Amino acid sequence: MYCLLGDIVFEPIDLTEFSETQQASFAEHAVMRGKPRLQATGDGLTTLQFAARLHHQIGGVESRWRALSAAKSAQQALALVWGRNGLKGNYVITDLNSTTLFTDGQGNVLCREIAISLTEYVGELDDGLLGAALQLGGNSILGSILPKNLTNTLSAVKNTVNRGVQLYQAGKRAVDEVKNTVALVRQLKSDPQSALAYLPHALSGLDQSLGAFGELVGMRTAFDAVCPYLDVVGEFVETGQAIYDALALSKSYFEQSNAATGWENWFVPADNAFADAVEHIDNLATTTAEMTAWVVLRNDEEENNENRD
């Protein structure tokens, strides 16, 4: 089961890790003799504590961790949606802890285990408090019923969105590996011969990333059919095309490299194009999280429907 806090999606580790505390407030009035009398003054604020995972297969690990940290620092109120149960309330983050479970060969974090404490928020809400991921398809919460004209094709639509997210994540992982190699090459400006030794690894990673983003761009027709119901897909495809073009340009400059070619003629333009691709990928993280949220809440919805049957 998955849940959302604002537009940040994550997976609760175990429901036994979830605790909820509800309070009621009373005023004490002293009397001449005997125990004081109580007068109810209202309900206290609900507090929640639970454990969750941020996994790279669901979305960007570090980007989601930074978003949680930023929300805590800004005392930002966020809507909590728990699986099929819908909106649980609006909460602020009061405590946040993280443990890194595993990384890739370059040290990029692939999974974090977090412990989070929330306190109920009561008051005026900022626009967009629920997060864009909860507003898709109208003003109802994302877990609500799809438009009737989409119901029969839900499985195909969900598979298309899910495949797009998978390709983005695969391409991003390949780019992250190339990023480390490019950083090493950048430090070898005064020793071009040594820099060239790293290029085969960079080109291999670029081929992998181009394969993923190329397949993503090739799904444009399928994504066009989804756009009327999930409009962020349009931005997803357009940015995917920009990523592919920037990676292809970067690769073409890297392929022109040799000991006789000036550094400014091959590495600088290759590095600039690669930086453009990385920027587009980072900018697409929020859109990808929205698409991921759309898929995982649909999965929860279907699972609950099957259980009721």
- For residue 127, the 8-state DSSP code is T
Which has the higher per-residue pLDDT, 29 or 277?
277
Confidence tier at 153 by pLDDT (50, 70, 90):
low
Give pLDDT tens digits for 63-77.
888 889 998 998 888
Give pLDDT tens digits for 213-260.
999 999 999 888 888 767 788 899 999 999 999 999 999 998 887 756
Show the tokens assigned to 156: 């195909």
Helices 263-283, 232-255: inter-axial angle, 10-degree rounding: 160
Give pLDDT tens digits for 278-309.
999 988 888 887 787 777 665 544 444 444 44
As beta bridge partners, residue 116 has 50, 96
Round to whole Å and give the CA distance between 223 and 240: 12
Share of the chain above pLDDT 90, in %: 25
Size of the chain, expressed as the number of residues it contains: 309
- Domain segments of the chain as ranges: 3-25+39-134, 148-308
* Per-residue model confidence (pLDDT) at position 289: 78
* Per-residue model confidence (pLDDT) at position 37: 87
In three-state secondary structure terms, 25 is strand
Fold of 148-308: Four Helix Bundle (Hemerythrin (Met), subunit A) (1.20.120)
User: Half-sphere exposure of residue 98, counting CA atoms within 13 Å on the CB side?
Assistant: 17
Mean pLDDT of 182-192: 82
**Which parts of the chain are beta strand (E)?**
3-5, 8-12, 19-21, 24-29, 37-43, 47-55, 78-82, 87-103, 109-120
